[in-house]
């Protein structure tokens, strides 16, 4: 028997049973990251299985989109194609069901595709459901319903899809603005427009010191409010809010019906969640994208615009585990190791994430790191060099 593992495991069982709040010293300090693998294709979604394999859908310039499998137990794994998404395609999130089928979102067509991974004869995925425009994040509940976020349009929609493929819009994360004031060209809105710099730009007025900093363009708007999805052991659904830098907690009953309050602000749709459903909001979470839970309910967050990894503990404490250091010459954080990290996976005690290399905020300009928009390498998977003190949920998460 491994004495060290035994000593670690017993406290974890005790903490999980009593829901004792996690402490800051339970997470790696001075974390570092190394590249597991790079690809010549853009990648954004990531999931895993119980054998240490990682799965990511690719986004080529044309043709079908291969879904790669990488063995994270190997130092330099080669891509193994286990399935294909039919063209035209730009796949994002993916998740396994209890039978081992893999489900992949395609936001442009608003469809969900599924297939049984096969490295010998990679299948062409078939359509499982449609009517989910902007589909991005995915997570299965305990009854094998697939929950899908509208992570690309800013409308905040979250759908539930039954095992039979029936789609229902269950709720909306409140958008950043309503459409109460629109002109004939649909321009207007009441609320806030969060802008990311760059691509947004402002003027720094050198004097007097009280002079305001003013916008010089309209670029960099960040409207996305429903992005990453993950369930905890109680069946509650967490949703990352990219624009607000927040996590929402949605209470569901045992039948999967939303119990959280809705329709507090009547300028939005009736199924819009009330703002008191926000679990935590914090500047460290700005750019929150994919999320993953560990065994005691701490939420690991890819803060993509900050090239950072954040943990929100089960009692709502926000801890920055890693952020790219600024370059000593340029002062920029765009040289890596993270390059717009989007989708985390906790494989037992190992943390890995995929990098999209989008050109926003800390990752601007996006040609200074290991991957570049012009290639030859355009995507990569990075893994933390240190082991996690608290392991992830058993994979695949469902």
Query: Given pLDDT bands bounded at 50, 70 and 90, which one contains residue 21?
Result: low
pLDDT value at residue 7: 39
Average pLDDT over every residue of 324-341:
98
Is 297 a residue whose pLDDT tops 60? Answer: yes
pLDDT value at residue 12: 37
Average pLDDT over every residue of 334-349:
97
Is 320 a residue whose pLDDT tops 90? Answer: yes
Query: Given pLDDT bands bounded at 50, 70 and 90, which one contains residue 214?
Result: confident
Average pLDDT over every residue of 300-304:
99
Is 4 a residue whose pLDDT tops 50? Answer: no
Token pair for residue 366? 């996006």
Token pair for residue 191? 């609320």
Contacts of the segment 198-203: beta carbons below 8 A, 24+ positions apart: 198/359, 198/360, 198/361, 198/364, 199/359, 199/360, 199/364
pLDDT value at residue 239: 99
pLDDT value at residue 18: 43
Q: Which CATH architecture best describes the domain 20-176+223-384?
A: 6 Propeller (2.120)
pLDDT value at residue 209: 67
| Residue 258: partners with Cβ closer than 8 Å, 6 or more residues away | 170, 171, 250, 251, 252, 271
Token pair for residue 344? 């985390």
Burial category of 167 from C-beta neighbours within 10 Å (exposed 0-12, middle 13-18, buried 19 and up)? middle
Average pLDDT over every residue of 345-355:
96
Is 382 a residue whose pLDDT tops 60? Answer: yes
Alpha-carbon torsion 218, 223, 227, 232, what sign? Answer: positive
- Strands of 324-397 (E only): list them: 341-347, 350-355, 379-384
- Digit-coded pLDDT (tens) for 230-286: 999 999 999 999 999 999 999 999 999 999 999 999 999 999 999 999 999 999 999
- Among 11-25, 101-115, 297-311, 356-370, the range scoring the smallest mean pLDDT is 11-25
pLDDT value at residue 283: 98
- Among 6-10, 50-54, 217-221, 265-269, the range scoring the smallest mean pLDDT is 6-10
Average pLDDT over every residue of 330-341:
98
- Mean per-residue pLDDT of the chain: 93
pLDDT value at residue 285: 99
Q: Is the peptide bond preceding residue 199 cis, with omega within 30 degrees of 0?
A: yes
Distance CA 366, CA 76 (A): 24
Average pLDDT over every residue of 54-82:
97
Token pair for residue 13? 């069982």
pLDDT value at residue 207: 67
Name the percent of the chain lying above pLDDT 70.
Answer: 93
Query: Given pLDDT bands bounded at 50, 70 and 90, which one contains residue 6?
Result: very low
């Amino acid at each position: 028997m491994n004495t060290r593992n035994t000593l670690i495991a017993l406290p974890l069982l005790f903490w999980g049973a009593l829901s004792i709040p996690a402490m800051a010293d339970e997470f790696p300090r001075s974390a570092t990251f190394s590249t597991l693998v790079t690809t010549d294709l853009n990648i954004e979604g990531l999931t895993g299985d119980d054998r240490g394999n990682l799965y990511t859908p690719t986004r080529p310039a044309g043709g079908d989109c291969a879904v790669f499998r990488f063995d994270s137990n190997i130092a330099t794994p080669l891509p193994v194609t286990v399935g294909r998404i039919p063209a035209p395609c730009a796949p994002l999130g993916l998740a396994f069901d209890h039978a081992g089928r893999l489900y992949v979102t395609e936001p442009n067509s608003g469809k969900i595709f599924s297939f049984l991974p096969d490295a010998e004869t990679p299948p062409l995925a078939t359509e499982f459901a449609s009517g989910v425009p902007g589909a991005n994040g995915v997570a299965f509940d305990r009854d094998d319903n697939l929950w899908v976020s509208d992570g690309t349009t800013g409308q905040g929609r979250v759908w539930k899809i039954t095992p039979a493929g029936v789609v229902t819009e269950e709720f909306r994360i409140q958008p950043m603005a309503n459409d109460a004031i629109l002109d004939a060209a649909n321009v207007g809105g009441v609320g806030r427009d969060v802008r990311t710099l760059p691509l947004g730009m402002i003027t720094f007025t050198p004097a007097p010191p009280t002079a305001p900093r003013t916008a010089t363009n309209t670029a960099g708007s960040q409207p996305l409010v429903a992005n990453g999805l993950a369930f905890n052991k109680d069946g509650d659904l967490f949703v990352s809010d990219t624009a607000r830098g927040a996590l929402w907690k949605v209470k569901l009953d045992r039948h999967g019906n939303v119990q959280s309050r809705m329709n507090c602000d009547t300028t939005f749709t009736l199924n819009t969640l009330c703002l008191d459903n926000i679990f935590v909001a914090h500047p460290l979470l700005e750019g929150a994208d994919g999320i993953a839970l560990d065994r005691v309910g701490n939420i690991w967050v890819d803060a993509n615009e900050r090239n950072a990894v954040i943990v929100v503990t089960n009692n709502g404490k926000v801890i920055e585990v890693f952020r790219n250091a600024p370059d000593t010459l340029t002062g920029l954080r765009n040289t890596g190791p993270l390059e717009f990290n989007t989708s985390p996976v906790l494989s037992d005690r190992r943390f890995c994430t995929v990098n999209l290399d989008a050109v926003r905020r800390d990752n601007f300009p996006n040609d200074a790191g290991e991957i570049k928009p012009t290639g030859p390498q355009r995507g990569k998977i990075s893994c933390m060099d240190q082991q996690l003190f608290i392991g992830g949920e058993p994979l695949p998460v469902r």
